Amino acid sequence: MPYTPPTAADLRRLKEQLGKTSEQMSELFALAGGQQWRKYTGGESPRVMGEERLFYAAARLVLTEEELQRVHAKMKEIGAAFD
């Protein structure tokens, strides 16, 4: 299915709706830190949010803790390890 990424304004709006800091948004999207988040939401040429990263964040926002545990269990079954 074709993917059109959210705009920088869309991402800023999500941050505002969630009431999160840039650091918290970077955690949600599995980025290195708040400075990395801001690269997606500002500047002359903001980074494009990849579909996989957006999917990851959206899943964390909508799945219950039990559902996330099921996903982690499947990942372990496939061969992943977690600290």
Q: What is the pLDDT of residue 77?
A: 97
Using alpha carbons, list the distances in angstroms from residue 58 to 6, 45, 55, 81. Answer: 12, 24, 5, 22
Distance of CA 32 to the CA centre of its chain: 11
Q: What is the pLDDT of residue 67?
A: 98
Q: What is the pLDDT of residue 1?
A: 83
pLDDT truncated to tens, each residue of the chain (83 aa)?
Answer: 899 999 999 999 999 999 999 999 999 999 999 999 999 999 889 999 999 999 999 999 999 999 999 999 999 999 999 87
